[in-house]
Amino acid sequence: MPVSIVLGTQWGDEGKGKAVDYLADRMDMVVRYQGGNNAGHTVIAEGRLLKLQLIPSGILYDHITPVIADGVVVDPRHLLREMEDLRRMGIDTGRLIVSGNAHMIMPYHLELEKVTERFLGKNALGTTKRGIGPAYGDKVARIGLRIQDLFDGKIFREKLEVVLREKNLILTKVYNRLPLAPDAIVDEYMEIAERLRPHVADTFSVIHAALRDGKEVMFEGAQGTLLDLDHGTYPFVTSSNPVAGYALASGGVSPMEVNRIVGIVKAYVTRVGAGPFPTEQLDEVGERLGVRGKEFGTVTGRKRRCGWFDAVLGRYAARLNGLTELFVTKLDVLSGFDTVKICSGYRVGGEEFADAPPHQSLLHNAEPVYEELDGWNEEIDEARSFEDLPKTARAYVRRIEELVGVPLRVVSVGPAREQSLPVA
Ligand code: IMP
């Protein structure tokens, strides 16, 4: 059973790009299964710094077929820009394939998200404003345009005109904005169609052919488990399902094919945008984590909120995704603290919770119960094996392993490939 799934276990930005890149060596195919260009993977390989938002990280390897599956929302303008940026860096994007069933982020999605977020005022979600929510909304409402519509000009125009009739009323009458002209969009998108044509494929059949031939297929999630539309901290979530289960729905693959589910765990926790975050540190601890961890959003440049590792949410992610192993990232950021804390439970109004509470108001009011462990002073980014790490650093990640209840496979201490240390 050659299918593995790699995903973030927190609120995104766990360093998945790096983990996927590390694991990609043994893979034949890497499939992105949800989200859009709201994600931001930073990959450093062979001295090159790459920021990938939509294209799967496996693009770096000549032997890998990178796939964008049905459940992703694709902004075709962005996709072409990202491909062009990669090409300029000398990376071949010719192998990239995109599902014709994937929905498109259209210009009116971007326009509408801008005005609706503003309209929400202090209740704004703090989205990345890439049109993700409006595009998934139209998909569910069955008025979305798919990549395959690009290749039938008549259908494309027909669908666009129907949608724009409503969208333009909302833009002009509700939000006092200018309407969008279908002609300009049709012209632009018909040109885009020709440039995308060589990359559009029946990804379902391509994935199944790879599985039939015994190839290794890895599904790559974006965002993180706690941003999941159904299982995350709704409404402060993204509009797709980063959980492992959705990889199968998106790629059209049976759960019976999966044998490995890797959870990427940052050694502490960060979050961008609004929403509950029990272990957030609003003092010099949070500040230090942010500065040392360079915690600024890859997509929006926003400062990320930072806090101690939360094992309650770690256990929740382990169960939700059926994790088979942990990949811990950014342990080097924790050097220099006298003690380091792990949240092992919550207290809410006298009641103790070992697991994620069932009602979001409880999570909003949750007071973390911390275990305090000895820290380590030395910088650890030059460690090249797990045994090179100070004893207290090893004890810290071993405690995470124990509390989350999933075997630890790799600990990373820096952005470069050689800074990923396998754990025996
Ligand atoms: P959206 O995905 O742009 O709709 O944003 C919804 C929420 O998800 C916001 O809080 C964003 O900051 C957050 N979000 C979306 N993508 C990412 C990501 O890749 N990393 C971290 N947070 C993200």
Q: How far is the CA of 75 from the centre of ligand 1 (A)?
A: 16
Q: How far is the CA of 236 from the centre of ligand 1 (A)?
A: 9
H-type alpha helices, 219-329: 244-251, 284-292, 311-321
Q: How far is the CA of 238 from the centre of ligand 1 (A)?
A: 6
- Note the pLDDT of residue 46: 64
Q: How far is the CA of 38 from the centre of ligand 1 (A)?
A: 6
Cβ of residue 227 lying under 6 Å from some atom of ligand 1: yes
Cβ of residue 13 lying under 6 Å from some atom of ligand 1: yes
Q: How far is the CA of 269 from the centre of ligand 1 (A)?
A: 15
Nearest CA to ligand 1 atom 2: 238
Which segment of 47-56, 142-151, 209-218, 331-340 scores lowest on mean pLDDT?
A: 47-56
Integer CA distances (angstroms), 313 to 261, 291, 316, in order? 17, 24, 5
Residue in 238, 298, 300, 303 to alter for ligand 1 test, most ligand atoms within 8 A of Cβ: 238
Share of the chain above pLDDT 90, in %: 84
Distance spanning both ends of the chain, measured CA to CA: 23
Residue 411 structure tokens? 């600990």
List, for residues 66-97, the tens digit of each pLDDT value.
999 999 999 999 999 999 999 988 899 999 99
Cβ of residue 12 lying under 6 Å from some atom of ligand 1: yes
* pLDDT higher than threshold 80 for residue 270: yes
Contact in structure between 340 and 373 (CB atoms under 8 Å): yes
Cβ of residue 276 lying under 6 Å from some atom of ligand 1: no
- Rounded to the nearest 5 degrees, what angle is found at the Cα of 412, between the Cα atoms of 33 and 217? 30
List, for residues 3-61, the tens digit of each pLDDT value.
999 999 999 999 988 888 788 889 999 999 999 999 887 766 666 777 889 999 888 88
CA 119, CA 122: separation in Å to the nearest integer? 9
- Note the pLDDT of residue 259: 95
CA 82, CA 380: separation in Å to the nearest integer? 34
- Note the pLDDT of residue 21: 78
Cis bond upstream, residue 2 (ω within 30): no
Cβ of residue 39 lying under 6 Å from some atom of ligand 1: yes
CA 196, CA 256: separation in Å to the nearest integer? 33
List, for residues 280-304, the tens digit of each pLDDT value.
999 999 999 999 999 987 777 889 9
Contacts of 209 (CB under 8 A, 6+ apart): none
CA neighbor of 185 nearest in space, from 95, 285, 254, 106: 106
> Which atom belonging to ligand 1 lies closest to the Cα atom of 274?
10
Contact in structure between 240 and 132 (CB atoms under 8 Å): yes
What per-residue string of b and e applies to 98-124 under the rule 16 or more CB within 10 Å gives b?
bbbbbbbbbbbbbbbbbebbeeeeeee
> How many CB atoms are located within 10 Å of the residue 384 CB?
11
- Note the pLDDT of residue 178: 96
CA 5, CA 253: separation in Å to the nearest integer? 12
Cβ of residue 238 lying under 6 Å from some atom of ligand 1: yes
Residue in 127, 231, 271, 300 to alter for ligand 1 test, most ligand atoms within 8 A of Cβ: 127
The more confident residue out of 240 and 25 is: 240
Which segment of 9-23, 98-112, 230-244 scores lowest on mean pLDDT?
A: 9-23
Cis bond upstream, residue 235 (ω within 30): yes
> What angle separates helix 244-251 from helix 203-212, to the nearest 10 degrees?
110
CA-based torsion, 274, 272, 335, 323: positive or negative: positive
Residue in 16, 37, 38, 270 to alter for ligand 1 test, most ligand atoms within 8 A of Cβ: 38
List, for residues 317-357, the tens digit of each pLDDT value.
999 999 999 999 999 999 999 999 999 999 998 999 999 88
Cβ of residue 223 lying under 6 Å from some atom of ligand 1: yes
Cβ of residue 36 lying under 6 Å from some atom of ligand 1: no
Annotated catalytic residues are 13, 41
Cβ of residue 133 lying under 6 Å from some atom of ligand 1: yes
Q: What is the mean pLDDT of the chain?
A: 95
